């Protein structure tokens, strides 16, 4: 050690310390945290909740060699066995058997790397939603520690890999969430990683979570009678479903009274033709953000504007927001009618400025509308 100049070392370290103190890391702002000490390796695998037996039955048709049903499993309950060893049927509590998916450390590492490379600028290096590009951004990018996803179109608590994949592939229109040009392998690895970000006992690490696919697109009963669907949809929208409580009402006060069969002289909410700001479960910087239900003639819908997309979104609801699940609450044909009606609103008035101002202006100046 004699050859080392200790003074020199001290000066060098002093200079390093000085340099490090030069930084303007703004630690109060979670968006501007200095991205250092970022690990790109995941050393532990994760067991993540998988969808139920129905899903396996479907998958078994696609991959017959891989999934086999074993009736003797679980003391006679019977379960699916995955030859690849990715999915496992295990007893979580006495008598309660669930499917789990094993994400290996290698797979999570691959997903982590792609996540850091592709997703972290908005969703944050640790998936908490505090990326640098996410500051001031509304709607906020998802925090993957919250395990809620708006537009996956599933009814279950959590979306399946396929449902998440569809969202990432499609992107969310009108937001910086792009349609991603990545391979399925990459995206599925990223998805496993995102799922593994669930805190203990929540999300995909929660034994009670139900995982499901996007809601099935049932047969459209109005396929040849669209006009009737639109009329019916208009009635449901302003009647049984009362969509106008949050979304704008697209009728005059008098028309609404007729649809709702209310007595003469009934009045409705102020600004009936405007949406109303609603609470959501999505938190940023420790407080819940609010979301605005879209005006279909004005705002861009995030998850597609085909009739099937609209049906799925209405039926499944939008997780974490005021938009409830309608499947089961209304018959499917009404949901389809609603989808047709909303699609008609979009096609007729969105970005059709003269038509829209004539339509909405007509509603607003009809005299009986406050």
Residue numbers 200-219 binding another protein by CB under 8 A: 200-202, 205-210
**Kind of pairing between the strands at 96-103 and 87-93:** antiparallel
Q: How far is the CB of 224 from another protein (least distance, A)?
A: 27
Does 12 participate in binding another protein (rule CB under 8 A)?
A: no
Site string for another protein, 147-186 (x = CB under 8 A): -x--------x----------------xxx-xx-xxx-xx
Indicate which single residue of 222, 326, 336, 341 sits in contact with another protein (rule: CB under 8 A).
326
Q: Which stretch binds another protein (CB under 8 A): 2-10, 108-116, 213-221, 338-346?
A: 108-116
Q: Are strands 158-159 and 211-212 parallel, antiparallel or unpaired?
A: parallel
The residues in 32-91 that bind another protein, with binding defined as CB under 8 A, are: 32, 34-47, 68, 70, 73-75, 79, 81-86, 88-91
Q: Binding string to another protein for residues 282 to 311, with x set by CB under 8 A, is what?
A: --xx-x-xx-x--x--xx------------
Strand (E) positions, 152-303? 158-159, 211-212, 278-284, 287-291
Handedness of CA 217, 155, 330, 54 (dihedral sign): positive
Q: Please give the torsion angle defined by the CA atoms of residues 22, 23, 28 and 34, in that order, rounded to the nearest 10 degrees.
A: -160
Could you give the string, one character per residue 335-364, with x where binding to another protein holds by CB under 8 A and - elsewhere?
------------------xx--x--x----
Q: In which region does residue 242 sit, left (phi positive, over 0), alpha (psi from -120 to 50) or beta (all else)?
A: left
Can residue 325 be called a binding residue for another protein (CB under 8 A)?
yes
Q: Which helix (H) or strand (E) holds 112?
A: helix 105-114
For another protein, the binding residues in 225-244 under the rule CB under 8 A are 240-242
Dist CA 23 CA 26 (whole Å):
9
């Amino acid at each position: 050690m004699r050859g080392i100049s200790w003074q020199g070392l001290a000066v060098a370290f002093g200079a390093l310390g000085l340099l490090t103190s030069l930084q303007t890391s703004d630690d109060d702002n979670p968006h501007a945290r200095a991205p250092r000490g970022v690990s790109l390796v995941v050393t532990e695998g994760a067991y993540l909740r998988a969808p139920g037996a129905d899903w396996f039955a479907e998958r078994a048709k696609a991959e017959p060699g891989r999934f086999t049903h074993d009736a003797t499993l679980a003391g006679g309950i019977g379960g699916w066995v995955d030859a690849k060893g990715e999915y496992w049927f295990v007893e979580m509590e006495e008598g309660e058997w669930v499917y789990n998916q094993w994400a290996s450390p290698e797979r999570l590492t691959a997903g982590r790397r792609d996540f850091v490379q592709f997703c972290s600028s908005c969703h944050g290096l640790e998936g908490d939603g505090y990326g640098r590009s996410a500051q001031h951004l509304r709607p906020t990018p998802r925090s993957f520690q919250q395990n809620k996803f708006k537009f996956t179109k599933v009814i279950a608590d959590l979306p399946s890999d396929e449902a998440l994949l569809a969202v990432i592939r499609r992107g969310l229109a009108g937001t910086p969430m792009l349609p991603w040009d990545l391979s399925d392998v990459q995206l599925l690895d990223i998805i496993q990683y995102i799922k593994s970000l669930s805190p203990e006992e929540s999300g995909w690490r929660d034994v009670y979570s139900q995982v499901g696919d996007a809601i099935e697109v049932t047969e459209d009963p109005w396929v040849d009678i669209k006009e009737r669907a639109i009329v019916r949809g208009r009635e449901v929208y302003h009647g049984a479903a009362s969509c106008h409580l949050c979304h704008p009402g697209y009728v005059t006060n008098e028309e609404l009274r007729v649809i709702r069969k209310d007595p003469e002289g009934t009045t409705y909410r102020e600004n009936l033709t405007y949406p109303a700001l609603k609470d959501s479960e999505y938190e940023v910087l420790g407080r819940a953000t609010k979301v605005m239900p879209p005006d279909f003639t004005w705002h861009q819908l995030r998850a597609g504007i085909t009739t099937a997309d609209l049906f799925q979104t209405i039926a499944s609801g939008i997780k974490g927001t005021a938009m409830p699940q309608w499947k089961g609450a209304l018959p499917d044909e009404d949901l389809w009618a609603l989808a047709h009606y909303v699609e008609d609103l979009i096609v007729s008035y969105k970005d059709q400025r003269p038509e829209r101002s004539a339509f909405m202006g007509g509603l607003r100046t009809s005299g009986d509308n406050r």
